[in-house]
Amino acid sequence: ADIMAAFSQLLNFVLICFAYFFYQSYVYRRPTYKEVLELRTYYDFIIVGGGSAGSVLAARLSDNPSTTVLLLEAGPSDIGHAQMYTPLRLTEMFLSNFDWMYYSEPQNYSGLALEGRKFYLPRGKALGGSSIMNYMLWSRGNRKDFDKWAEQGCKGWSYKDVLPYFIKSEDFISKNNVNKEYRGNVGPMKITELKGQQLSQDFIDSAISLGYLERDYNGDEQEGVAPLQGSIYKGERWSASRAYLWPAAQRDNLDIVTGATVHKIIFENGKAVGVSYSQKGKTSKKKLLQARSRREVILSAGVFGSPHLLLLSGIGPRHHLEALKIPVVADLPVGENLQDHLLTFIFVKTNVSVGRPTVSLYHSLEYQIFGTGPLGSPAGCHSTAFLKSRLNLPQPDIQLVLVESRIQKSYLKVSPGISTEVLQRWHNDLDEPGFVILPTLLQSKSRGTVRLRSTDPLDHPAIDVGFLQNDEDVEGLVQGIRLAQRFINEEPFRKYGSMIDRTRIPGCDSLKFDSDIYWHCYVRYLGVSSHHGAGTCKMGNVNDPTSVVDSRLRLKGIGGLRVVDASIMPNLVSSNPNAATIMIAEKAADMILQDMNE
């Protein structure tokens, strides 16, 4: 009987392997991008950066066969890289060839547990941009975020104005009744509700027992608790490039060039008319290529890339450009207003195993054939809550995310980059049973900057994240910790013997554990970036001295040049920003086509 059982298991294994290889070889076909052998003399539009926003723009602007579009991307193609589309393998993207690998300048008020007090700031360097390496969490933000934009002079950007573009961008697939007044079901971005372990349901039940409602946070109200929604479909990452570029990959009027690093924008008579760029394997620093535009150059290089290129091209604060002997084209506050979400880790011990299963060969085959199992999960994140730290606040200022397992030291060393010294003196028990809650501060008052380090386009910019310069942000994040504690103390978690790990972080170990002053210290040491940077090319009224682009995303005082990405956000949305970035590009595409036809 044992021999027959073993033989049966072996036969099943062989059949699964055969099915997998048949599927990969004969059924599953990824597209290819059209090879560009020679550039056109002119393009209607040149898009710099093939990330979340650039992918949307390239597809939407090339919908009209008579409009020619060139998309320049510094990184490689996104096709043919399994780790890019396997959700659980997202951490393999960190510090890889698909990562810009930015680091902040050393900080004085935050990041005290990080190597060199520098924040690691990963950004996607491939078609799809950061949508190929983010945590795939799909959250629009709060309606009041966009109404504030409109109140600050961004005409046409209220919640009522942007909602149609959120709807247009998504295909929300849910087993529950969906409110079609708020949700889309025919858009390119496939969005699903993420199914977790029992622990995720316990998180939701704890919130309900505290009086919060379970609701669709991308619907009419954000406050409450819910399963996370993600840009994952049939177990695979649904990046912006996959959603928008793949269907457009063979269009005659869309040229996509990878390995192309733009060095400078070309201006003639106060108008942007093209760009100069290097291409991997084809040019040198002394011999650059040029691309020319009839209508517009559009920067979609991201929160760090777009201000970097503007500064190199002579658009930015006069004093900064003159110090580097860069001729000033326009004196604008480029690189100011940098914002991000700061989060921290609450490690919880349990007396029974509650986490995700270890990934086995069976799970790998299950995933490859059926798209199910732990490999199709974004690192154990399946439920979230948007909460107010004080009842009188107009909107949630804290997000809690549950991670269904402990976080390994190897991960903490890479992202966020905790120093070896701190890790050696701190946690030796991260393999024990437990889970983690991530409190995130959604409306930081602190601001940072992006500046040139040199005039070399290949040098990374100097990024000062500016976290926790404002003491109110420290208190806000501590209130997030207190909210997490309330969840942990509810019966759904108590049944596991859940207790906050009392191992005190080096640097705060002389302070009484769980006192306010201990947590104030803790967040200065272990508050880390959510990788949600925004705001460095601020949108605003044309008369607002703090704005860089107007409400149609045109550079103030410069013709033929727009910025379309997360850098234009006047205030960072109160959520993961990828959905809002894609919305911005959808709306921008309509505005660009309207302006073209006037």
Q: Which residues are annotated as a binding site for FAD?
A: 262
SS3 state at 567? helix
Main-chain dihedrals φ then ψ at residue 170, nearest 5 degrees: -120, 155
φ/ψ bin of 346: left (φ > 0), alpha (ψ from -120 to 50), beta (otherwise): beta
Question: Residue 73 and residue 299: Cα distance in Å, rounded?
Answer: 11
Q: How many helices (H) and strands (E) does the chain have?
A: 17, 26
Nearest to 232 by CA among 287, 289, 191, 183: 191
Q: 416 preceded by cis ω (within 30°)?
A: yes
Residue that has been written with the tokens 């703090």 in this structure: 546
Two tokens at 529? Answer: 């970036």
Which phi-psi region, left, alpha or beta, contains residue 352 (left: φ > 0; alpha: ψ -120 to 50)?
beta
Closest CA to 381 of 138, 572, 22, 32: 138
Known binding residues: 262
Q: For the chain, percent helix, then strand, then coil, each to nearest 5?
A: 30, 20, 45
Q: Which candidate, 576, 584, 477, 470, places its Cα nearest to that of 531?
A: 576
| Angle (CA) 246 252 253, round 5° | 95
The yes-or-no answer on residue 532 being catalytic is: yes
- Spatial neighbors of 391 by CB under 8 A, at least 6 apart, are none
Task: Determine the Cα–Cα distance for residues 305 and 313; give it in Å rounded to an integer.
Answer: 12
C-alpha 448/C-alpha 535 separation (Å) is 10
**Residues catalogued as catalytic:** 532
